[in-house]
A = this chain, B = another copy of it.
């Protein structure tokens, strides 16, 4: 029940109620309330209709409208996790921009893209107009199929073969910034904890890392690039592998593809008896407030995740409206380095 002006009523007012109160036909009320300019309506009736709508607290039933218009004004945000540092920021960008454009966001956590039932639910049941997908392998036949079937679908912080619409940040450049920072401190052997194997995000960060090292004459030790899976557990495993390298081949600094693996690796190093940061510098791609509160503070490259979320919504809605999907790289804001305690010049007695 909804209380209106002190009275209780059984169900929300419909446009028929508004029309009746304003003494016009529902179609007239509809025209006025939607502000259709092509048809002209006398100022007097318009006022009557607006007044009636206000009195009744009228709001168009989104289902009736959606049924008639064949669109939902909702999009879905699909992600494999909520807890990853950075997802908050992406999600906030998505929700802010969606709200500005009058869209709702349905957030769904899915283990993998192979969730046909989920796609069916969202798209075939016409619950949302399009999908923002924050996961997926480079080769992901399911996603490619859905995209090819004509479902508006944009990948976010990912590129997937066969999916035309994507929004990513400057991952290669961010990796380069991280390498340059370590080099400027005097590091000559640098390792890399990459992300989830099979994801292009990880691949692009790694290729940016390798290109920067090559350009700057940095040695990347054999087995000095290990997968960290964008996770705490992965970072731990990666650290173990790096520590297994003979001391004279071991990197003195590491670029981690993400903060979680960087944190876990740092912890592992310390537990193994290393003194950080002097014996091992660590810099992560993707920043977060919380990195100020770990010890040592984790040096990190901030990426435009919030903006990426915003742009992704914009792109998806464009696709929904019929634009041809295409890949997009968010370059504003540019990646920026925040130096904290985790990166220092290498201890020479170790690095020799």
Contacts and interface: CB of A to CB of B under 8 A. Distances in A.
Interface in A169-222: none
Nearest to A118: B99
A100 interface: no
Contact of A61 (B12, B126, B232): B126
Given A149-B1, A293-B263, A126 B12 contact: yes
Nearest to A92: B82
Nearest to A293: B263
Interface in A97-117: 99, 104-109
Query: What's the dominant secondary structure at chain A's contact region?
Result: mixed
Interface stretch (A15-23, A41-49, A63-71, A136-144): A63-71
A163 interface: no
A92 to B, nearest CB: 6
Of listed A63, A108, A109, residue having the most chain B CB within 10 A: A63
A289 B232 contact: yes
Max chain B Cβ within 10 angstroms of own Cβ: one of A8, A11, A82:
A82
A312 to B, nearest CB: 16
The 7 closest A-B CB pairs, nearest first, are A295-B295, A59-B124, A1-B150, A83-B88, A263-B293, A63-B66, A62-B125
Given A74-B106, A104-B127, A105-B106, 18 more contacts: A2-B124, A11-B70, A57-B120, A59-B120, A61-B126, A62-B127, A63-B66, A63-B126, A67-B67, A74-B127, A83-B92, A92-B109, A95-B107, A96-B109, A106-B107, A263-B293, A267-B293, A294-B294
